[in-house]
Amino acid sequence: MENSKEMRTWLDDLGLDHPLVIAGPCSAETEEQVLKIAHELKDSDVSYLRAGIWKPRTRPGNFEGVGALGLKWLQKAKEETGMLTATEVANAAHVKLALEHDVDLLWIGARSTVSPFIVQEIADALNGTDKVVLVKNPVNPDLALWLGGIERLHSANIKKLGVIHRGFSTYEKSKYRNIPEWQLAIELQNRFPDLPLICDPSHITGKRDMIFDVAQTALDLNFDGLMIETHNDPDNAWSDAAQQVTPSRLIQIMQDLKIRKETDAEAEYNNKLGTLRAQIDVIDNGLVETLGRRMKISDEIGALKKQKNVAVLQSKRWNEILGRMILEGQEKGLSEEFVLKMFKAIHQESINHQEKILKA
Ligand code: PEP
Ligand code: MN
């Protein structure tokens, strides 16, 4: 698959002067709820009303979506408000029903993108469709798997494509529900600059208070749009209650987000600079987080040394690390002087930590 401008004509044709916004409840719950949310969003920047009809739940026994009945509510919402509609499909039967009910945008969920069989089944069922189809990243941080999903749709002659970045699950504890791993989305954007890239800060954060910051980061990284879960009564939502915002909060978020516009040469320069700086910020945050994790492990070593009554400084081990890192650094274009300075500083911090533990 090659980068092609054709993939984004559906987005350009909307003629928006702001990022694309897809919003609506995690799950369609009742007809009244879907219509209420649609009416509250119809005069905002939201182009597509989203609602999950079939819900992939991690454990059985939870609410699994209202099923095909909810598609009628989406259709009614479109009739009453003129909004376009969007839902998740996870198999050929879902595709058939969604197309019968004239859903305008279909997305493949993170749990489906991991399965080439499922993606292929969906691609085959959609073959040649003129609907927009978006692929969420797989739950694991695997760019090839994500791209594979797009390639399967592209090969099934589906022209209106895009991707949704919703973060990646990990075993590590984190402030995110799904860690953003921005560098993966940036790589995808570098390879396919014309493929519309949408961020889903709701599933990245899992908490409504964090949505604004993640949405701003996405826009700073030149994402084309946002998908934000929006519910008339978030606390009592039947799924993903903690991460949904009210329609009025969504409208406020859209107003407060800073959008950099490419109008002339200077704007383009600023835009590029801004994108590169945002990339640096992401990496710097990662550096500090990684160093923090390194120190935690160093603390554990300190505790072990204390038990065994061993000295903090073990120069043989340290010289081995330095030698290895200088070689690694050379391969990455880092000078020996820099690698030495950096690791001396890290080592000193580590010694300080361990000393503190030994003295405690
Ligand atoms: C959703 O959008 O409600 C959803 C289930 O998302 P994801 O596939 O990203 O978990
Ligand atoms: Mn959800």
**pLDDT band of 112, cuts 50, 70, 90:** very high
Q: 339 CB under 6 A from ligand 1?
A: no
Shared domain check, 87 and 60: yes
Q: In the listed set 259, 280, 313, which residue is the last one of a domain according to the structure? A: 259
Mean pLDDT confidence for 136-141 = 98
With CA atoms as reference, report the closest residue to 179 among 217, 213, 139: 139
Q: 25 CB under 6 A from ligand 1?
A: no
Mean pLDDT confidence for 2-21 = 95
Shared domain check, 204 and 272: no
What kind and span of H or E run contains 157? none
Tally the domains of the chain.
2
Mean pLDDT confidence for 191-205 = 96
Q: Which residues of 207-224 are buried (b: 16+ CB within 10 A; e: fewer)?
A: ebebbbebbbbbbbbbbb
Shared domain check, 284 and 230: no
pLDDT score, position 247? 98
User: How far is Cα 46 from Cα 49, in angstroms, rounded to an integer?
Assistant: 7
Shared domain check, 295 and 181: no
Shared domain check, 193 and 75: yes
Shared domain check, 152 and 56: yes
The CATH number given to whatever domain includes residue 123 is: 3.20.20.70
Can you count the helices (H) and strands (E) in the chain?
14, 8
Q: 160 CB under 6 A from ligand 1?
A: no
With CA atoms as reference, report the closest residue to 231 among 213, 250, 212: 250
In percent, the amount of the chain with pLDDT more than 70 equals: 98
The CATH number given to whatever domain includes residue 332 is: 1.20.59.10
CA 203–ligand 2 middle distance (angstroms): 7
Shared domain check, 126 and 37: yes
Give 338-354 pLDDT, tens digit per residue: 999 999 899 999 989 98
Question: Which ligand places an atom closest to the C-alpha of 242?
Answer: 2
Shared domain check, 145 and 233: yes
Mean pLDDT confidence for 60-85 = 96
CA 243–ligand 1 middle distance (angstroms): 12
Q: In the listed set 213, 231, 259, which residue is the last one of a domain according to the structure? A: 259
Shared domain check, 307 and 336: yes
Q: What is the average pLDDT value for the chain, to the nearest integer? A: 94
Mean pLDDT confidence for 25-32 = 98
Shared domain check, 277 and 254: no
Q: 203 CB under 6 A from ligand 1?
A: yes
Shared domain check, 75 and 217: yes
Full residue range of the structural domain in which residue 355 is found = 267-359
CA dist 76 to 70, 79, 95, 130, Å? Answer: 10, 5, 19, 21
State yes or no: pLDDT of 58 exceeds 90. no
Shared domain check, 136 and 9: yes
Q: Which residues, chain by chain, have CB under 5 Å from ion ligand 2?
A: 26, 240
Name which residue leads in pLDDT, 341 or 315: 341
Q: 135 CB under 6 A from ligand 1?
A: no
State yes or no: pLDDT of 267 exceeds 80. no
Q: In the listed set 195, 229, 259, which residue is the last one of a domain according to the structure? A: 259
State yes or no: pLDDT of 321 exceeds 80. yes
What kind and span of H or E run contains 360? none
